[in-house]
Amino acid sequence: MNKQEKIIRKESSNKITLDKIVGGGSKFIDYKMGAAGAIVMGAIVFGVNYYGTLEVTGASTAALKQGGYTLLFGGLIMRGCEHLAININKQWIALIAAILIPSAVAIGLTFGVHSLKGTPKPVASTIPTAILVIPSTAVWGFRKRKQYTSGQSSNPKPARLVRRV
């Protein structure tokens, strides 16, 4: 192999591709749960804002913000829920943490996103998250803990979000 071929191979291996970004992000983001949440929450937020104001532009803006936010941060929050459920030794502490911490973060971030310019009803847009996130994290946390303790999990331990000292 000559010098030019080595340079070409090195350049092609250093390229950042969408596959590398998505593959690397899947350690920290559950894209499947994020996409499901984005569709549901985007539709709910559109309905809340449209029927409250009869304004398509504001309702669409709110729905797109909610959908994009939920795709990324909802997937991150669900992966964090999974992380807490399986990485804390005492089961009851793990499950309480897996429900409360991600739920509080999700509600706070959702309100923050909708408080930015463009959402006609930020509080009303946050209520669906507050209603759905607690049961969602509860079911997901219980499910992942059960899979982990029974040894059925295909991903026994997700990437560490915090280094243990």
Q: What is the tens place of the pLDDT at every residue in 148-161?
A: 888 765 554 554 44
Token pair listed for 60: 């669409």
Please, how many CA atoms are within 13 Å of residue 32, restricted to the half-sphere of its CB?
A: 2
Q: What is the tens place of the pLDDT at every residue in 69-125?
A: 889 888 899 999 999 999 988 999 999 999 999 999 999 988 888 788 767 778 887
% the chain with pLDDT above 70: 75
